[in-house]
Amino acid sequence: MSEVNSYKPGTFCWVDLFTPNPTAAKRFYSELFGWTTEDFPAPGGGAYTMARVNGGDVAGISGMMPDQQAKGIPPHWNSYVAVANVDEATAKATSIGAKILAPPMDVLDAGRMAVIEDPSGAALSLWQANKHIGARRVGEHGAVNWNELSTRNVDACGSFYTKLFGWQTETTKGVFVPTYTIFKDSAGPRAGMMPMSKQTPDNVPSHWAVYFAVKDCDATAKKVTSLGGKAVMPPTDIPNVGRFSMFLDPQGAFFAVLQPA
């Protein structure tokens, strides 16, 4: 459990959900994690919801844009990495193989952001903080405690992210895959990466998954289904790490939970 007041560049700092039914999403996640929520007017209309744990921001919820729905983009969680200068980070990402999904833009007085697509097709947001640093609570029940890339090209992504953020890589034995990669820097682990299964349908792109900390993985899994979500992976132990499970929320957005060892 910890309260955060700033983020070092190269650190995951925020997550938000884009969903066709934000009202239902607020109800689902609030009942699941005990979140409190507050709505703020969003540029272009609608609202952006701040979700909080113990009074600290942990995640955002927004309605999907009409163009996203028209393109058939499913509900999804976005992950953000803190950068010192989003324009420079975006230019660097482009130079080493990224595509730009959304160019650098100001988000009112909260900060400046861009969205990139890595060499395997996974989307990732970059965040240069102004008044909003990102999550104020991490690692406690209902707050994010891990970010993980599932990719069809481990080698390309390993090279890409180490160059972009200055991360190092360490490989270990995976639970369901031969090797699992940990991205790390001088402060410790930052994220994980694993190859997508060959059985994964072709229409499922490489993606960054969000894990939320929970006190009891099995109890959370039961609650997800009782609230209308669907289990993708039942509660499973990861030796020396903890117990995790994966789900689709009632609108179809993928997320995971992790009960630390």
Q: Kindly report the CATH number assigned to the domain that includes residue 162.
A: 3.10.180.10
Torsion sign over Cα 25, 31, 34, 37: positive
Number of domains in the chain: 1
The Cα–Cα gap between 61 and 51 comes to 8
CB neighbours of residue 101 within 10 Å: 12
CA–chain centroid gap for 41, Å, is 23
pTM of the model: 0.95
pLDDT of residue 41: 87
Mean pLDDT of the chain, nearest integer: 94
Provide the domain limits for residue 38: 1-261
Dump pLDDT digits (tens) for 62-87: 998 777 777 778 899 999 999 999 99
The Cα–Cα gap between 137 and 253 comes to 22
Confidence of residue 1 (pLDDT cuts 50, 70, 90): low
pLDDT of residue 204: 81
The Cα–Cα gap between 215 and 257 comes to 10
For residue 28, give the nearest of 207, 259, 247 by alpha carbon. Answer: 247
For residue 37, give the nearest of 47, 52, 53, 24 by alpha carbon. Answer: 52
pLDDT of residue 2: 80
φ, ψ of residue 75 in degrees (nearest 5) = -55, 145
